[in-house]
Amino acid sequence: PTNQSWGGRFSEGPDARVQRFTASVSFDCRLAPYDIRGSIAHATMLAKVGVLTDDERDRIVAGLQDIDGEIHRGELEWRDDLEDVHMNIEARLTERIGEAGKKLHTGRSRNDQVATDLRLLLREEIDDLRAELARLRAGLIDLAEREADTVMPGFTHMQVAQPVTFGHHMLAWEAMLARDSARLADTRRRVNVLPLGSAALAGTTFPIDRPFVAEQLGFDEVAENSLDAVSDRDFVIEFLADAALVMTHLSRMAEELVLWISPAFGFVELPDRYCTGSSIMPQKKNPDVPEIVRGKTGRVTGHLMAVLTLMKGQPLAYNRDNQEDKEPLFDTLDTLRDCLGLYADMMPHIRVDAPACRRAAARGFATATDLADYLVRRGVAFRDAHEIVGKAVRAAQEGGLDLADLPLDTLRGFSGAIEEDVYQVLTLDGSVAARDHIGGTAPAQVRAASDRARKRLSAD
């Protein structure tokens, strides 16, 4: 035959260019260990229901295990003319064990096979990514605790808004990543469903035992509909959406780190080993790790768009278009693993310059809201208090002073409700300590929130 897997009805082999164009083994060889596990479960099931003899099963299983070893040792030569990972492994099996190898594909198609492989791989990768997320989250919680008392400016519109604690900011990052982890766990439930048994699209005429295969491979469920199971890649899309959100969060963190490291802010320093230099400017120490993370976010978001677009025009059931799902998925997995790993390594080593953070919070009238709240507690309506403080800010600004620098007489000129004790609410520490409720920035709350975050993390 012109092709050992499907050549029967063909009068000539594929054009060389067609062969190169349609082959996927250069990238789907990454599925090999999962393909072998799936095949072993399938052969074991075929023997259980009497389609294969026990002897055939044993030879298939031993042959596949040997091939697994060959692949690990880099000895198997992947052949483009065998198209993909599935046919490369099957061909090698028959080469090694003869006739029994030709029976492995009974009651199965590459369509349900590839969907199974992909789900096995993704399930494992999700578990690894969630472990990396957990490592990063643990680092952020430690940092939050360490810097629970460090006052920094909180921003809205990138303008100084109100003082917050550095620890509170770290727990905001951790909260985003906690949701990402929960989303991945939820996606995993829909990934962990067995397609095998759907065969090409309609099921198979053999008396297969799908729950037995599911159990061997650790799938929680058997896919309900064969047409759906071989054709939809929504589980890939869902994962890519989760991944795009993870990257979006890492990118926002990157943006803040880049700003904070800039001497104009000077809030934090990164160890030299996480930075690189300039080829021309000798003084430069650049925050390349966060910058590249921010840059890589674009490709992951792009991969989500790619697979959504790949899916949108496909009629049921399997179409070869789906071969294009793998490179975006694999690249996303590698990108996430790298970025999360680097962040998890790096975050515990961030050095916070607490005095610089405090100086920045002291500029920009960060306690103006506290003064307005003070007036409200003395019976002034909030909207009136807002205007009074606005005028005080303008006067302070014109004099080049901060609110706390204005003498009591000057302050009382804006409102008779102001008394000597006003200076307590105008301090940065007073301001943060006063936001003393669940979700607030007070150091005591940050410590309590760190405890809760750590408990949630260990229950994850």
Region of 97-105, 110-118, 261-269, 350-358 interacting with ligand ARG (CB under 6 A)? 110-118
- The C-alpha atoms of residue 404 and residue 390 are separated, in whole angstroms, by 14
Query: In the complex, what is the shortest distance from the CB of residue 313 to ligand ARG, in angstroms, rounded to a whole number?
Result: 16
- The C-alpha atoms of residue 130 and residue 79 are separated, in whole angstroms, by 35
Q: Which residues of 122-150 are buried (b: 16+ CB within 10 A; e: fewer)?
A: bbebbeebbebbbbbbbbbbebbbbbbbb
Q: Which of 39, 88, 111, 332 binds ligand ARG (CB under 6 A)?
A: 111
Name the token pair of 5. Answer: 């897997």
**Dihedral over Cα of 159, 161, 164, 170: its sign:** negative
Region of 138-146, 284-292, 315-323, 340-348 interacting with ligand ARG (CB under 6 A)? 315-323
11, 157, 279, 437: the catalytic one is 157
Query: In the complex, what is the shortest distance from the CB of residue 318 to ligand ARG, in angstroms, rounded to a whole number?
Result: 6
Which residue reads 């789906």 in tokens? Answer: 322
Site for ligand ARG in 144-183 (CB under 6 A): none
Query: What's the per-residue H, E or C state across 67-97?
Result: HHHHHHCCCCCCCHHHCCHHHHHHHHHHHHH
Q: Residue 24 or residue 445: which is nearer to ligand ARG going by CB?
A: 24
Q: Residue 89 or residue 339: which is nearer to ligand ARG going by CB?
A: 89
In Å, how far are 4, 5, 154, 184, 198 from 195, measured between CA atoms?
Answer: 25, 22, 50, 20, 6
Q: Are 104 and 39 spatial neighbours (Cβ–Cβ below 8 Å)?
A: yes
Q: Residue 115 or residue 360: which is nearer to ligand ARG going by CB?
A: 115
Q: Residue 28 or residue 147: which is nearer to ligand ARG going by CB?
A: 28
- The C-alpha atoms of residue 40 and residue 30 are separated, in whole angstroms, by 17
Q: Residue 327 or residue 373: which is nearer to ligand ARG going by CB?
A: 327
* 110 part of the interface to ligand ARG, by CB under 6 A: yes
* 322 part of the interface to ligand ARG, by CB under 6 A: yes
* 42 part of the interface to ligand ARG, by CB under 6 A: no
Q: Residue 2 or residue 397: which is nearer to ligand ARG going by CB?
A: 2
* 427 part of the interface to ligand ARG, by CB under 6 A: no
Name the token pair of 121. Answer: 């791989």
Q: Which of 24, 39, 251, 441 binds ligand ARG (CB under 6 A)?
A: 24
- The C-alpha atoms of residue 39 and residue 135 are separated, in whole angstroms, by 34
Q: Are 171 and 347 spatial neighbours (Cβ–Cβ below 8 Å)?
A: no
Half-sphere exposure of 80 (CA within 13 A, CB side): 12
* 84 part of the interface to ligand ARG, by CB under 6 A: yes
Query: In the complex, what is the shortest distance from the CB of residue 76 to ligand ARG, in angstroms, rounded to a whole number?
Result: 17
Query: In the complex, what is the shortest distance from the CB of residue 111 to ligand ARG, in angstroms, rounded to a whole number?
Result: 5
Q: Are 328 and 240 spatial neighbours (Cβ–Cβ below 8 Å)?
A: yes
SS3 (DSSP) at 416: coil
Q: Is 105 a catalytic residue?
A: no
* 323 part of the interface to ligand ARG, by CB under 6 A: yes
What residue type is assigned to position 250 of the chain?
Answer: L
Query: In the complex, what is the shortest distance from the CB of residue 184 to ligand ARG, in angstroms, rounded to a whole number?
Result: 24
26, 72, 262, 278: the catalytic one is 278
Half-sphere exposure of 295 (CA within 13 A, CB side): 6
Q: Residue 286 or residue 323: which is nearer to ligand ARG going by CB?
A: 323
Radius of gyration of the chain (CA): 31
Please state, as a whole number, how many other Cβ atoms lie within 10 Å of the Cβ of residue 459: 6
* 114 part of the interface to ligand ARG, by CB under 6 A: yes
Region of 70-78, 132-140, 318-326, 342-350 interacting with ligand ARG (CB under 6 A)? 318-326
SS3 (DSSP) at 159: strand
Q: What crossing angle do the helices spanning 326-346 and 288-312 adopt, rounded to 10°?
A: 160
Query: In the complex, what is the shortest distance from the CB of residue 329 to ligand ARG, in angstroms, rounded to a whole number?
Result: 11
Count residues near ligand ARG (CB under 6 A).
Answer: 10
For the chain, the first-to-last Cα distance in angstroms comes to 54
* 270 part of the interface to ligand ARG, by CB under 6 A: no
Q: Is 415 a catalytic residue?
A: no
Query: In the complex, what is the shortest distance from the CB of residue 21 to ligand ARG, in angstroms, rounded to a whole number?
Result: 13
Query: In the complex, what is the shortest distance from the CB of residue 218 to ligand ARG, in angstroms, rounded to a whole number?
Result: 22
Contacting residues toward ligand ARG, per CB under 6 A: 24, 28, 84, 110-111, 114, 318, 320, 322-323
Active site positions, annotated: 157, 278
